[in-house]
């Protein structure tokens, strides 16, 4: 997760997530249709926590259905608080992966059966190493995998770079790519035409799944507090948490 200026709630300026009429028209898809039985699921997260923001509900559903799951955390998220003495990079590089362990526990994903790869790439600098990143991802893919990662046009440099690198790796290895928007939902409403609505599919979430997803998001203590001494707002702004209450997640197929 990266810092963005999200300070408005539902009554603030219209954003795509709370105003686009196209959202109501997105076809619903069953997780089993999205991921055929027997396929392995690979989730590629640019930063710790992106897997919860993007598809925490879907992860719960697929785990319950006993799919084989692999999580690749590309960076350790250590650049989320630039200039902070409260949250220096050295502390974050240890603390944020620990937050992910707790978040996955709260989601109910069994850590003993989850294959978890930590890439160790430098946070906030992925575009410069995109080719190397693509080769790294390809090493962990196999034909028939269903791969979830951030949308190539999400609006965050690291998210976009991971999306592009993953697309190349999937094409090379014969895996299926599914993209997940995160920050794009918080674009101004006037940008809604940029969203590829024809590719969008909606995965319904139960009230319980939404509650667990929010509970998991709150495991990221470092992202909820910011650093008041340097005027750094929380990375997980209230408006983003509000969006996570929606009873669905959206995937671009």
Q: What is the pLDDT of residues 100-159, one digit of tens each?
A: 999 999 999 998 889 999 999 999 999 999 999 999 999 999 999 999 999 999 999 999
Per CATH, the number for 16-252 is 3.40.50.10320
Token pair for 40: 């392995």
Contact of 162 with 125, CB cutoff 8 Å: no
CA torsion angle 166 1 50 137 (round to 10): 30
Burial (CB < 10 A; 0-12, 13-18, 19+), residue 91, is middle
Which position has the higher pLDDT, 165 or 225?
A: 165
The answer to whether residue 3 scores a pLDDT higher than 70 is: no
The answer to whether residue 18 scores a pLDDT higher than 80 is: yes
Q: What is the pLDDT of residues 31-85, one digit of tens each?
A: 999 999 999 999 999 999 999 999 999 999 999 999 999 999 999 999 999 999 9
Mapping DSSP to helix (H, G, I), strand (E, B) and coil, where does residue 120 land?
strand
Q: Any residues with CB less than 8 A from the CB of 162 and at least 6 apart, and which?
A: 44, 45, 46, 74, 126, 133, 149, 150
Calculate the average pLDDT of the chain: 94
- Comparing CA positions, the residue from 164, 167, 169 lying closest to residue 135 is 169
Token pair for 199: 């590719």
Give the C-alpha separation, 213 to 132, whole Å: 32
Give the C-alpha separation, 102 to 122, whole Å: 23
């Amino acid at each position: 997760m990266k810092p963005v200026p999200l300070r408005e709630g539902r009554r603030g300026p219209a954003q795509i997530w709370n105003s686009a009429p196209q959202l109501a028209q997105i076809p619903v898809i069953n997780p089993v249709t999205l991921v055929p039985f027997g396929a392995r699921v690979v989730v590629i997260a640019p930063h710790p926590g992106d897997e919860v923001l993007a598809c925490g509900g879907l992860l719960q559903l697929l785990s319950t259905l006993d799919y084989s799951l692999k999580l690749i955390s590309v960076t350790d998220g250590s650049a989320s608080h630039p200039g902070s003495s409260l949250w220096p990079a050295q502390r974050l590089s240890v603390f944020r992966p620990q937050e992910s362990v707790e978040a996955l526990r709260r989601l109910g994903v069994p850590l003993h059966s989850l294959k978890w790869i930590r890439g160790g790439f430098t946070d906030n600098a992925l575009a410069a190493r995109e080719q190397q990143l693509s080769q790294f991802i390809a090493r962990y893919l196999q034909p028939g995998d269903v791969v979830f990662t951030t949308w190539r046009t999400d609006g965050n440099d690291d998210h976009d770079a991971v999306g592009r690198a993953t697309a190349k790796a999937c094409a090379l290895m014969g895996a299926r790519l599914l993209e997940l928007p995160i920050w794009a939902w918080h674009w101004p409403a006037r940008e809604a035409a940029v969203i590829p609505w024809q590719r969008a599919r909606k995965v319904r979430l139960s009230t319980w799944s939404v509650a667990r997803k929010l509970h998991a998001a709150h495991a990221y203590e470092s992202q909820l507090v910011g650093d008041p001494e340097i005027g750094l707002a929380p990375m997980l702004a209230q408006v983003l948490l509000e969006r996570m209450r929606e009873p669905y997640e959206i995937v671009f197929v």
